[in-house]
């Protein structure tokens, strides 16, 4: 057991006491806990409510590697599906970009909030399909989210040009002088876009991982026994 797990166990024991130098220790031995799994001297303190494990904060891969047995950590790594996760994330990102472009052209207004939804959709999709715990999933989630919102912005520009010239969208894509793309993108860029793009990137990164918390970690350990 880790020190954190031992502390969680000891906090519910009548034999606990606090030492200024050592922290929570056993009142019988005067030392920190040394047991694994169970303590023979444990006596439940009925006045103490069971401490709930954190079920909100995601544990990083480095933390999982420290807290899980090597074979169980390797099992989680083997369950990862990077390529399917990337492909599914790209599909959601491109679809979101197309929808964003269509909505922008139809309404004449760019709803920046959609960029946030694209990042969220990409991240959740990569998490569901990729089942990943390593940082590379987050990097791809962030990258795909950024490319998707930029692509959506580009498609809206193509749509406006097509409407202005009264020609088809695909024809506009073929005839567009891409040497002017950076200049056109700069002209349509607004400071608020930077904020929403940033949020989309963060969400693409954050939601791309398999969400394992302290609570679910204990359930994984129990299920492996």
What mean pLDDT is predicted for residues 100-123?
A: 91
- Mean residue pLDDT across the chain: 84
| pLDDT single digits (tens) 186-214 | 777 777 778 888 999 999 998 998 877 66
DSSP one-letter string for the chain:
--HHHHHHHHTTBTTEEEETTTEEEETTTSS----SS--TT--B-TTSPPPPPP-SSPPPHHHHHHHS-HHHHHHHHHT--HHHHHHHHHHHHHHHHHHHHHHHHHHSS--THHHHHHHHHHHHHHHHHH---SHHHHHHHHHHHHHHHHHHHHHHHHHHHHHHHT--HHHHHHH--GGGHHHHHHHT--HHHHHHHHHHHHHHHHTTS----HHHHHHHHHHH-
pTM: 0.68
pLDDT at residue 66 greater than cutoff 50? yes
Task: Grade residue 54 by pLDDT with cuts at 50, 70 and 90.
Answer: very low
Q: 1-35, pLDDT tens digit by residue?
A: 788 778 877 888 888 998 878 888 998 999 998 88
Taking residues 171-180, what's their average pLDDT? 83
* Boundaries of every domain in the chain: 1-51, 82-206
């Amino acid at each position: 057991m880790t020190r954190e797990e031992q502390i969680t166990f000891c906090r519910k024991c009548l034999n606990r006491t606090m030492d200024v130098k050592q922290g929570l220790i056993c009142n019988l031995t005067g030392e920190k806990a040394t047991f694994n799994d169970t303590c023979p001297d444990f006596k439940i303190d009925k006045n103490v409510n069971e401490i709930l494990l954190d079920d909100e904060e995601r544990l990083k891969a480095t933390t999982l590697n420290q807290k899980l047995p090597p074979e169980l950590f390797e099992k989680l790594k083997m369950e990862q599906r990077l390529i399917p996760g990337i492909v599914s994330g790209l599909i959601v990102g491109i679809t979101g970009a197309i929808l964003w472009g269509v909505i922008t052209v139809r309404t004449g207004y760019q709803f920046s909030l959609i960029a946030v939804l694209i990042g969220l959709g990409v991240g959740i999709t990569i998490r569901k399909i990729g089942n990943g715990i390593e940082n590379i999933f987050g990097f791809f989630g962030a990258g795909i989210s950024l490319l998707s919102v930029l692509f959506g912005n580009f498609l809206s520009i193509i749509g406006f040009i097509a409407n202005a010239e009264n020609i088809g969208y695909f024809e506009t894509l073929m005839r567009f002088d891409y040497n002017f793309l950076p200049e056109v993108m700069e002209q349509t860029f607004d400071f608020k876009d930077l904020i929403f793009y940033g949020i989309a990137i963060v969400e693409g990164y954050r939601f791309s991982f398999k969400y394992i918390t302290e609570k679910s970690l204990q359930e994984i350990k129990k299920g492996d026994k």
